[in-house]
């Protein structure tokens, strides 16, 4: 069989290609810089895989790829909850908990149900495909299910996506209610609203054609809508790449150069920090100091922003205005206080001053000595001498 590149097939191919590409970019970038993008990247990859299977089934080309037969629905069931988790983690900065794995239960149930089919070799899967390939709707009726009647999984998957979409709407509503001004998440809030709107194209056609007797219409309503959703979301991200690379929401590219210069130009102007916000920031800083994050060499305000979930410009403003010091002075003071604890302990004799400086988070002896003298008013060696006397 050959691919007839009509309108539908073109959308399938283009949306899959774009979805896989953006998924890999978001996944790679998320691992290195922005962990919430891992969820968005995975959602692109799993949705694109499901669309790929739908396109292969619609064109009959599935006969050339029997090994991936019945994996499209598994990808769809996993995709269903990923946008919801992305919204939850992004807006509310939720931390991963093991009980979140409960969202995998539908996919796990499907895997158990279709385990015998999934474990077939390519020749056996091809025999199954040849009995259904002339009727795409029959392929997605899932007649080999051991636990459920034929035709169960396709509407169940659509309803599951719909269910998580509603939960996403509730999260957006709760966030708006608790943060009327939206704060520093104004741009990402609007992006999530747009993302939820694009998701309508996935399940709305299913409900509109639910009474149709045309099997081809029913098939395309379920799967072509997903392709349109994948395509529209991908094109939107290419046009507004702030989700991908941290551009501002207007699409203006950050200037090249040092990170400090780039982000200072992109950061929004902020007003004076009120008392309530100052207390909140102080609590966050105290918590991070208890975790001794300052012991990490090269620890920057951008690292602190990532660890705390608070924008770097807000942390910088609070430290500069409310504490009256720069971030390097703030972090070095904590390092020196920790260093003094080491020097006052019985373990001090077991280490050289250079080793103690490294244990305190300094990269070299010069920076350690300079910071120590600035905080304590004397050099480390003078401090030890005075202590012994």
The verdict on 282 and 236 lying in the same domain is no
Query: Does residue 217 sit in the same domain as residue 348?
Result: no
| 270 part of a folded domain | no
Asked whether residue 267 is assigned to any structural domain, the reply reads: no
pLDDT (0 to 100) of residue 2: 56
Contacts of 370 (CB under 8 A, 6+ apart): none
CB neighbour class for 1 (10 Å; exposed up to 12, middle 13-18, buried from 19): exposed
Q: Does any domain span residue 135?
A: yes
For tokens 């979140």, the residue is 100
Are 147 and 227 part of one and the same domain?
Answer: yes
**Residue pair 342/385 in contact by the 8 Å Cβ criterion:** no
Long-range contacts from 117-123, C-beta under 8 angstroms, 24+ separation: 117/69, 117/70, 117/144, 118/70, 118/71, 122/66, 122/67, 123/66
Residue 23 sits in the same domain as residue 167: yes
Buried (b) or exposed (e) across 242-257, using 16+ Cβ within 10 A?
bbbeebbeeeeebeee
Helices (H), 273-317: 275-290, 301-308, 312-317
Is there a single domain that holds both residue 29 and residue 106?
yes
Shared domain check, 301 and 236 = no
Range of the domain at 316: 275-388
Domain count, the chain: 2
Residues with pLDDT less than 70, the chain: 1-5, 183, 212-213, 215, 243-271
Q: Are both 97 and 234 inside the same structural domain?
A: yes
pTM of the full predicted structure? 0.63
Q: Are residues 121 and 69 in the same domain?
A: yes
Domain contains 250: no
Q: Are 305 and 199 within one domain?
A: no
- Say whether both 195 and 102 belong to one domain: yes
Biggest CA-to-CA distance, the chain? 96
Same domain, 341 and 225: no
Residues 366 and 314 in one domain: yes
* The pLDDT value given to residue 326: 87
107: CATH = 1.20.1070
Q: Where among 201, 223, 245 does a domain terminate? A: 245
d(CA 221, CA 217): 6
Per-residue tokens: 329: 């002075």
- Residue 66 in domain: yes
């Amino acid at each position: 069989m050959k691919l007839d590149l009509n309108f539908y097939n073109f959308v399938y191919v283009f949306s899959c290609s774009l979805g896989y590409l953006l998924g890999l970019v978001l996944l790679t970038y998320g691992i290195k810089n922005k962990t919430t993008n891992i969820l968005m990247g995975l959602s692109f990859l799993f949705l694109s895989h499901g669309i790929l299977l739908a396109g292969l089934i619609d064109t009959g080309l599935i006969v050339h790829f029997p090994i991936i037969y019945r994996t499209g629905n598994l990808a769809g069931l996993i995709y269903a909850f990923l946008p919801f988790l992305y919204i939850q983690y992004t807006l509310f900065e939720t931390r991963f908990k093991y009980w979140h794995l409960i969202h995998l239960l539908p996919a796990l149930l499907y895997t158990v149900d279709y385990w015998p089919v999934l474990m077939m070799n390519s020749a056996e899967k091809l025999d199954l495909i040849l009995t259904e390939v002339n009727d795409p709707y029959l392929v997605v009726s899932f007649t080999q299910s051991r636990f459920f009647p034929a035709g169960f999984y396709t509407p169940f998957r659509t309803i599951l996506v719909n269910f998580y979409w509603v939960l996403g709407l509730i999260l957006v509503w709760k966030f708006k209610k608790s943060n009327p001004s939206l704060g520093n998440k104004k741009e990402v809030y609007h992006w999530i609203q747009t993302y939820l709107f694009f998701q309508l194209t996935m399940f709305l056609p299913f409900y509109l054609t639910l009474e149709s007797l045309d099997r081809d219409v029913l098939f395309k309503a379920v799967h072509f809508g997903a392709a349109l959703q994948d395509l529209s979301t991908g094109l939107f991200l290419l046009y507004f790449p702030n989700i991908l690379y941290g551009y501002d929401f207007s699409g203006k590219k950050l200037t090249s150069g040092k990170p400090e210069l780039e982000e200072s130009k992109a950061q929004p102007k902020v007003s004076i920090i009120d008392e309530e916000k100052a207390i909140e920031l102080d609590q966050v800083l105290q918590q991070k100091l208890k975790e001794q994050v300052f012991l990490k060499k090269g620890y920057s305000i951008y690292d602190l922003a990532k660890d705390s979930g608070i924008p770097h410009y807000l942390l910088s403003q609070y430290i500069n205005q409310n504490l009256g010091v720069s971030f390097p002075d703030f972090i070095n003071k904590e390092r020196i206080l920790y260093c003094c604890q080491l020097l006052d302990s019985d373990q001090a004799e077991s280490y050289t001053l250079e080793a103690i400086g490294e244990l305190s988070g300094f990269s070299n002896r010069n920076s350690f000595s300079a910071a120590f003298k600035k905080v304590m008013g004397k050099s480390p060696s003078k401090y030890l001498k005075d202590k012994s006397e």
